[in-house]
Structure 1
Amino acid sequence: MSTLRSDWLPALVAFESAARHQNFAHAAEELHLTASAVSHHVRKLESRLGVALFQRHARGVTLTPEGRQLADAAGNTLADLEGVLRGLHAARDQAARVRLTTLHSLLHAWLMPRLPRFTAEHPGIALTFDTEASLARFDDGGPELGIRHGPGHWPGLAALALMDDTMVPVASPTFPGLAAVREPADLARLPLIADKARQGWHDWFRAAGVHGAPLHERFQFSDTTDALQAAAVGLGVALARERILAPFLDDGRLVRLALPPMPARWGYYIVHPAHRRPSQAAQAFIDWLLADVARFGA
């Protein structure tokens, strides 16, 4: 017999399906063929092998001993091949997906509005975002990249500077008492809204030259987006990081107060494990993000 050639594959696929179903019509339905096409493939295979693979009778077909032997081998081989193909397909999909960890507030207010530009330039890259409050572990199965707010150095991570930030007091434009705020000390008489940022109202008042004033942080939130939303509904004055403020300013929910801004002590950094080079897709996201900030500003 001649060696196995690629043109044997359609006949073997048709035979394996017919052997599993013990029915040419069911095999044809599975393979999107006609029953006569399946029968033709099987007969061609029998002709090449010189043996009968099925016993044909009025109620259908049954495998001959030779047919059972070939069906077992073909089934195992095709299952193995399908497993390899599925694995390669999954690996391709995984290679084109980047998992990132970042702050919910930064994703919601700063990164999300930029993502349409990324998807337009890189339609083949999928993104998964993790906004858990705790710092992510960059181990196997974890995020590949992160955008962190901090000093710019973390053990085991390479960090690329993305942008700095500024802290500014904001409030709803209809908040009572804003007209009476003319200098930083006046804010101490209003209800203040705080989050868990490393810099807060005490830092701002100190930077503005106000010392010893009693501060009333009436509302405290673990997430900065919630703190800004609280200010937007009129609960008080919030100290906002400028980078995540744009959506609230654009639709008029918040306004900056005419008071001194405070440079943030820390900035934002793109981070990834120092011992592992980013994948091609992750590097494409890093390059795009840095270029987008350079082009459109932070």
Structure 2
Amino acid sequence: MTLRSDWLPALAAFEAAARHQNFAHAGEELHLTASAVSHHVRKLEARLGVMLFQRHARGVSLTAEGRRLADASGNALAELEDVLSGLRTSQGDGERVRVTALHSFTTAWIVPRLPDFAARHPDIRISFETEIALTRFDDQGPDLGVRHGPGHWPGLSAQRLLEEPLFPVASPALAGVDRIADPADIARLPLVGDLSRHGWSDWFRAAGVRGARPMERFTFSDSTDMLEAAAHGLGAALARRLVVVPWLASGRLLRLPGPELPSRYAYFIVHPSHRPLRPAARLFAEWLMDMAADALPGR
């Protein structure tokens, strides 16, 4: 059978409907109505002479024939998108991957490891977006992101990257820090904080310090700014283990006595569920996973 060009709209509508298992969601992705998607699918079924979906009260599900076509069409359209993306990239300019991540995680964890990625993949360019607001993953948005949270975001596929406990740190120059012998002593220090869902009250409770009523003198929206404030002697900070490494390594901050507090959340690699990662973006995601494996305790 020769594939004519007038089959392409119907195949695109079917492929989106197969991924979402929902005509309305497929229509939103393609900027069509649900009835238009349904019309394309019925037209395709009529041409092929097979049922591609089972219709029922709760929605639709693929038939065996529909599953075969979904696998083939999904792979074919992804390959076509890769070719089109490559053609849009000017010759010799390399391929660009757009990444969204928290500023603190980008600065303290990703950037120190980037020379390794540059050596492995010299033709891939990376563009980082570190605004604090959650980025929209639309057609003009980033390829992938690193988010800190519970691991469930509507419309996004999420792969666990790293967990990150918290512990207290302070500048060696902070007044009174040389007299800190146990967690209860930290309650007498000035404190700084960020907008983390875990805070000083959680840590003092985990450390067994009763009656502590921590009050943060300065609060920052970004962990990097909080750690800089602590390094300038403004107070003790509750630091994330991955983010604080550069400050500890330089000696600008030191770890204070007390336990690590397991975080409720972790870092996840995320990307839109409705589109597969392009090859260059997939290479960057795989590299992040490699770096995370090397960062595990005992490695």
Q: Do they superpose with TM above 0.5?
A: yes
SS of the residue corresponding to residue 242 of structure 2 reads helix
Post-superposition shift, 1:273?
Answer: 0.5
Letter in 2 for 1:278: L
Letter in 2 for 1:273: P
- C-alpha offsets along residues 113-159 of structure 1, whole Å, 9 cap, x if unaligned? 00000010000110111111100000011111000111111111111
Q: Report the equivalent of 1:166.
A: 165
Please say if 1:251 is aligned against 2:247.
Answer: no
Distance 1:107 1:249, change over 3 A: same
Q: Report the equivalent of 1:103.
A: 102
Residue pair 1:95, 1:281 contacting (<8 A) in 2 also:
no
Residue pair 1:248, 1:254 contacting (<8 A) in 2 also:
yes
Q: Report the equivalent of 2:230.
A: 231
Q: Report the equivalent of 1:90.
A: 89
Residue ranges of structure 2 left out of the alignment (5+ in a row): 1-85
Q: Report the equivalent of 2:178.
A: 179
Identity %: 54
Q: Report the equivalent of 2:111.
A: 112
Q: Report the equivalent of 1:26.
A: none
Please say if 1:154 is aligned against 2:122.
Answer: no
Task: Give the alignment's TM-score, normalised by structure 2.
Answer: 0.67
Mapped to 1, the partners of 2:149 and 2:91 lie a distance apart of: 34
SS of the residue corresponding to residue 100 of structure 1 reads strand
Distance 1:207 1:223, change over 3 A: same
Residue ranges of structure 1 left out of the alignment (5+ in a row): 1-86
- C-alpha offsets along residues 177-215 of structure 1, whole Å, 9 cap, x if unaligned? 123222222211111000011111111111112233222
Residue pair 1:152, 1:159 contacting (<8 A) in 2 also:
yes
Letter in 2 for 1:190: L
Residue pair 1:167, 1:262 contacting (<8 A) in 2 also:
yes
Please say if 1:295 is aligned against 2:294.
Answer: yes
Residue pair 1:171, 1:238 contacting (<8 A) in 2 also:
yes
Residue pair 1:190, 1:216 contacting (<8 A) in 2 also:
no
Mapped to 1, the partners of 2:218 and 2:186 lie a distance apart of: 15
- C-alpha offsets along residues 257-284 of structure 1, whole Å, 9 cap, x if unaligned? 1211111111111000111100010001
Distance 1:96 1:264, change over 3 A: same
Please say if 1:190 is aligned against 2:189.
Answer: yes
Mapped to 2, the partners of 1:135 and 1:112 lie a distance apart of: 20
- C-alpha offsets along residues 15-51 of structure 1, whole Å, 9 cap, x if unaligned? xxxxxxxxxxxxxxxxxxxxxxxxxxxxxxxxxxxxx
Larger Rg: 1
Residue pair 2:169, 2:236 contacting (<8 A) in 1 also:
yes
Distance 1:93 1:102, change over 3 A: farther
Task: Give the alignment's TM-score, normalised by structure 1.
Answer: 0.68
Residue pair 2:94, 2:123 contacting (<8 A) in 1 also:
no
Post-superposition shift, 1:296?
Answer: 4.7
Aligned pairs for 1:272-283 within 5 A: 272-283=271-282
Letter in 2 for 1:181: I
Distance 1:151 1:296, change over 3 A: closer
Aligned pairs for 1:194-205 within 5 A: 194-205=193-204
SS of the residue corresponding to residue 141 of structure 2 reads coil
Letter in 2 for 1:118: F
Mapped to 2, the partners of 1:134 and 1:278 lie a distance apart of: 22
SS of the residue corresponding to residue 158 of structure 1 reads strand
Residue pair 1:95, 1:279 contacting (<8 A) in 2 also:
no
Post-superposition shift, 1:233?
Answer: 0.9
Post-superposition shift, 1:288?
Answer: 1.3
Mapped to 2, the partners of 1:169 and 1:193 lie a distance apart of: 11
Residue pair 1:170, 1:238 contacting (<8 A) in 2 also:
yes
